Structure 1
Amino acid sequence: MLLTKFDPMRDFRDLEERMASAFRLPEIGSELSNVSGFTPSVNTREGDYAYHVEVDLPGVKKDDIHVDLKDNVLTISGERKTKKEVKEKDYYKKESSYGKFQRSFTLPDNTDAENIEANCKDGVLEVVIPKVERSKKEAKKIKIK
C-alpha cells in the first residue's frame, strides 16, 4: 500500500497552473510570439495633499496618450507605435511593437477633480490628483416618530 501525503491546496495549485497556461504567450520563435498586448506598469502613491499615479510609457508619444475623467473614474489610455530598424552589410532587421493600452482607477471621494494635472517626461506619465479637505459634519440626532 502506497501512502501519499494529503495536500488540500494541490487542487487549487493545479487549477491556477491550468488557468495561467491558458493565458501564456506563445514561445519565442513561434509564429504568434510577435502578437502581444502592451500593459504599462503603474505606480500609485498617496501624499499628504495629493494622490500620484505614475505610468511607465517608454516609446509612447505625448500625443498618443489620453487621460480622461468620467463618473469619478480616471482612465489613462493610448497606443504605442515603435519601430526598430537595423541595416548592416550582411543583414537587415526591422522590429515593430504596437499595442493599445487602457488603465482605469476609481478615485476616492476626497479628490479635487477640477485641478487634476498630468505631465509626461522621459517616458513616464505622472498624474497628480489633489485632495480636498472633507468638511467634518457634526453629528445630528434624528427623532424617531
Structure 2
Amino acid sequence: MTMSRYEPWSLLNQLQRELERSFEGGRPGTDTAATAEWTPAVDIKEEADRYILWADLPGVSPDSIDITMENGILTLKGERQTEATARREGLKRVERVHGSFYRRFSLPDTADAEGISARCSNGILEISIPKKAAIQPKKITVTGEG
C-alpha cells in the first residue's frame, strides 16, 4: 500500500498561484509559481527604516538562490536538490519536497531597491529592504525691506 499525504487545498492553492501569476504579468513558458514544485513559507516585518523578509529554505544552498528586483517586484527563486536515489529507497513516507521554488513580492514605493541585501543562515534566508529617506519639507525664509 502506498501512503500519500492528503492535501484538499492543493488545487485551490494552484489556482491562486495561477491568478497571481496572471496579474503580475507572467508569460507562459517562463519561470512562474505554476512551474515551481514548492513554495517557501515567508514572514514579512516592517520597521521604521526597513522591511525584513524571512523565507524558510532548509536544505537549500545559498548558491542556488536567485533574488532579483525589477519594476517594484522582488523575485525569489531557486532549487532544493533531490537526495540520492539510494538514500530514498525504502522510504515509507516522503513529505519533504525537492525541486524548484518561486515567490514574487510587490514592494511599496518607499522601498530602496539599491540597498537590498540578503543573507542565509541555518536554513533561513533574510532579505533586508531599506526604505528611501523621507523627503523633509524645507523652510524658506522670506527676506525683504521694512
Q: TM-score range by the shorter chain?
A: 0.5 to 0.7
For structure 1, which runs of at least 5 residues remain unmatched after alignment? 1-19, 25-35, 87-91, 139-145
Question: 1: distance between equivalents of 2:10 and 2:103?
Answer: 23
Deviations 1:81-125 (A, max 9, x none): 141727xxxxx5367842211111111111111110000011000
Normalising by structure 2, report the TM-score: 0.61
Aligned to 2:75: 75
Cα shift at 1:22: 7.3
Q: How does 1:13-92 map to 2 (within 5 A)?
A: 23=11, 37-83=37-83, 85=87
Contact persistence 1:81–1:97 (CA under 8 A): no
Residue identity in the other structure for 1:61: S
Cα distance change on mapping 1:107 and 1:97 into 2, 3 Å = closer
Q: Which has the higher helix share?
A: 2
Structure 1's consecutive aligned runs of 4 or more residues displaced over 4 angstroms after TM superposition are 94-97
Residue identity in the other structure for 2:11: F
Cα shift at 1:72: 1.1
Deviations 1:37-63 (A, max 9, x none): 311100001011100010000111111
Contact persistence 2:82–2:99 (CA under 8 A): no
Residue identity in the other structure for 1:48: A
Normalising by structure 1, report the TM-score: 0.61
Aligned residues: 104
CA RMSD of aligned residues (A): 2.8
Aligned to 2:130: 130
Contact persistence 1:59–1:82 (CA under 8 A): no
Whichever of the two has the greater Rg, that structure is 1
Contact persistence 1:59–1:123 (CA under 8 A): yes
For structure 2, which runs of at least 5 residues remain unmatched after alignment? 1-7, 13-35, 139-146
Contact persistence 2:116–2:130 (CA under 8 A): yes
Deviations 1:119-143 (A, max 9, x none): 00110000000011232569xxxxx
